[in-house]
Structure 1
Amino acid sequence: MKKSLITNTHGFTSEALRKEERAISDAFFRQRVTAVRLILEGFSTVKAAEVLGICRQSVSTYVKMFNRGGIAELLQRNFPPGKQPYLSPEEQMEVKKVILESTPEQEGIEPSQSWDTRLLQKWIEERFSVTMSRSGIADMLHRLGLRWKRTTYVLAKANKEKQQAFVHQVEMIKKT
């Protein structure tokens, strides 16, 4: 009789694993559970890998994970942490607050009424002594839930009646 690769079933039978498999919507994790189920049913790692279309080492890794921590470890996926951000979360919230509550002119950057990445780059460098690229600033703003909109010029002293009369006059010219 062949020795089983699974040393600890953690209370799971082949049928229980099949039910667990059907409940998982993520194909990546479903494949892991299927690999363990096939080994539990007596398939070799080579045969299970062939059935699933993955390499033999992956099946062995999944079985080791299952033996060590059960279904919980099998369904755990750790991503690498990635690069540390240039600004701390507190600093990022300060940037967001400045964008929402003030203008570049109020912050002493430039006589402008709206922020753009060029002005933010300048302000961040002055305030935090950190040099960031404009695309990095745009990505950070996106993560903070801010969206860029093109600014429009609005006349502060515009006369609504004159504007409507002008639009009416243009429409009359179009008709003739």
Structure 2
Amino acid sequence: MLSMGNTPIFVADCLGIDISTIYCYRSLYLEGGLDKLLENRYRGYQGLLNIFQIESLKQELRTHLYTDAKQVSQWVKDTFEVTYTPQGMADLLNRIGFSYKKTTEVPCEADPLKQKLFVEALSKILQEKEEGDVVYFAGGVHPTHNSRSTYAWIEKGKEFQQPTVSGRDRLNINGLLNAYDVTDVIALDCECVNAESTKELYELALKKHPNAKNIYIISDNARYYHNKELQNWVEDNRIKQIFLASILSKPQFNRALVEILRKKGNQYGFLSEQDRIPRCYKEFL
């Protein structure tokens, strides 16, 4: 545009940029042509590690456990002779896709092959089940009878005291969770999770699904599930008991339910009488 006789002010107004920028671009062009004008001199910070070192760090973190950023910084220093502060390393780890979280517990004796065979057998059973059949996961939970400290909006410099009890007493909840509808929960508040309460729980399932030809119940290998009287009763009813292979862990919904109950219980504040606890939990269940 300048070569066409236009003034720098006119060009700046047309392009919406400062007039000094026009003079700067003109000088660069006269100095080295288009190559000089288009030269990228503003490159972002690439970090202290190159892409190959980053990949090596990722592989190290995938195969070894580091519990804090300081340990990772030490490994990087020993391996690449590059120094990071713990905070700098934490920023790097977040940037490359890692977060600080708890490890996942798995049974140390787990056998992948046996797990695969069990899952295949279970899948076949579920695929061949008749229309209208119901599938439940069974499990017992034992939340502690106590309030827990939690986060809330509290005046700065002040404390909001929350009374607690000894926490020695526990609730006993025997339950079933529908494998295809997680909103379908059958829960039984009982004195003890045993064969007797399990039979009572199964009876609730039979009553809830009178038209189901079969009710499949998948459980772990707790002793009360193998009770002879319970198994004899199961054989005479529409219940089809399926036991998890011994190398498989318990269904994780047990832990999730306990955590939900704890959070729900905190909303009620301090509950000193044990018989009040089941009532507030039943409102949730």
TM-score bracket, shorter-length normalisation:
0.3 to 0.5
> Higher strand fraction: Structure 1 or Structure 2?
2
User: Rg: which structure is higher?
Assistant: 2
TM-score, structure 2 length as denominator? 0.33
Q: Considering Cα pairs closer than 8 Å and 6+ residues apart, tell me whether 1 or 2 has the greater RCO.
A: 2
